């Protein structure tokens, strides 16, 4: 009585290597898109924060400003004096920052103020040199600036880690796919030989 033929081994599946390859692609391109979007947003936010708006040095100027926002006043050559009137006609306190004056692209900060309600603010400035420019910009919070830098560095580090993870997934998936394909070819040859032997 002939012995029964051994059960054929299961044909190797490509599911796992394909999952690894897809996961690697998703992580890689997701990290790339997030880095581009985040970098663009961060640069635009920094530009918007540090953009200087020129003010008239001999007449009043009206600006529409949001509520509860701090602004820094700059001049080409201090000293300069400025007054700020709020939307309801109230005097806005202008704080002298002479002790902590900073240089921003050749412009020196000399004072700052904080808005109350959103609306139109009238800013009047006077300089000894009427040709000297006067500007204002949204104040930069040092702690927020440092936090932004740390966040950027942390984001870069995380992006590098995710890229390395995605490369590992792609390499692992590619190697496993090559091995599974070779195992499949071996299985197909064995299977065809078994069927041919049974037919004979």
Asked if residue 3 is part of any domain, the answer here is no
* pLDDT recorded at residue 80: 76
Q: Computed over its alpha carbons, how large is the radius of gyration of the chain?
A: 34
**Domains identified in the chain, total number:** 2
Residue 184 and residue 107 share a domain: no
pLDDT band at 1 (very low <50, low <70, confident <90, very high): very low
Q: Is residue 7 part of a domain?
A: no
120 with 182, same domain: the answer is no
The answer to whether residue 77 is domain-embedded is yes
Question: 96 versus 164: which is more confidently predicted?
Answer: 164
Domain contains 5: no
Judgement on whether residues 123 and 182 belong to the same structural domain of the protein:
no
pLDDT for residue 114 is more than 80: yes
65 vs 49, higher pLDDT = 65
Question: Which of 99, 123, 139 is the endpoint of a domain?
Answer: 139
Q: In angstroms, rounded to a whole number, what is the distance separating the alpha carbons of residues 128 and 76?
A: 11
- pLDDT band, very low/low/confident/very high, at 32 (cuts 50, 70, 90): confident
Q: Is the pLDDT of residue 190 over 70?
A: yes
Segments forming the whole domain that contains residue 96:
51-139
17's CB contacts (< 8 A; 6+ apart) are 173, 174, 176, 177, 180
Give the span between the Cα atoms of 113 and 111, in whole angstroms.
7
Between 44 and 173, the more confident residue is 173
Residues 173 and 94 in one domain: no
- Asked if 75 and 106 sit in the same domain, the reply is yes
Which band of pLDDT confidence, cut at 50, 70 and 90, is reported for residue 92? very high
> Are residues 36 and 56 part of one domain?
no
Residue with tokens 């920094």: 46
What value does the mean pLDDT of the chain take? 80
Predicted pLDDT of residue 90: 95
Read off the pTM: 0.51
Boundary residue ending a domain (119, 139, 159): 139
Residue pair 61/136 in contact (Cβ under 8 Å)? The answer is no
């Amino acid at each position: 009585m002939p012995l029964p033929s051994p059960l054929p081994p299961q044909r190797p599946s490509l599911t796992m290597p394909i999952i690894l390859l897809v996961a690697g692609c998703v992580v890689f391109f997701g990290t790339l898109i997030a880095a581009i979007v985040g970098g663009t947003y961060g640069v635009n936010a920094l530009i918007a924060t540090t953009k200087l708006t020129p003010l008239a040095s001999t007449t009043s100027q009206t600006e529409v400003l949001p509520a509860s926002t701090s602004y820094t006043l700059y001049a080409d050559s201090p000293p300069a004096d400025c007054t700020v009137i709020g939307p309801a006609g109230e005097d806005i306190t202008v704080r002298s920052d002479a002790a902590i004056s900073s240089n921003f692209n050749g412009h020196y900060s000399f004072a700052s103020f904080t808005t109350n309600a959103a609306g139109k603010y009238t800013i009047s400035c006077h300089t000894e040199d009427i040709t000297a420019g006067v500007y204002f910009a949204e104040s930069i919070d040092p702690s927020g600036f440092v936090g932004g830098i740390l966040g950027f560095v942390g984001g870069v580090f995380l992006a590098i880690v995710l890229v390395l993870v995605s490369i590992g997934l792609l390499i692992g998936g590619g190697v496993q796919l090559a091995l599974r394909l070779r195992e499949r070819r071996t299985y197909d040859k064995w299977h065809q030989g078994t069927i041919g032997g049974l037919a004979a």
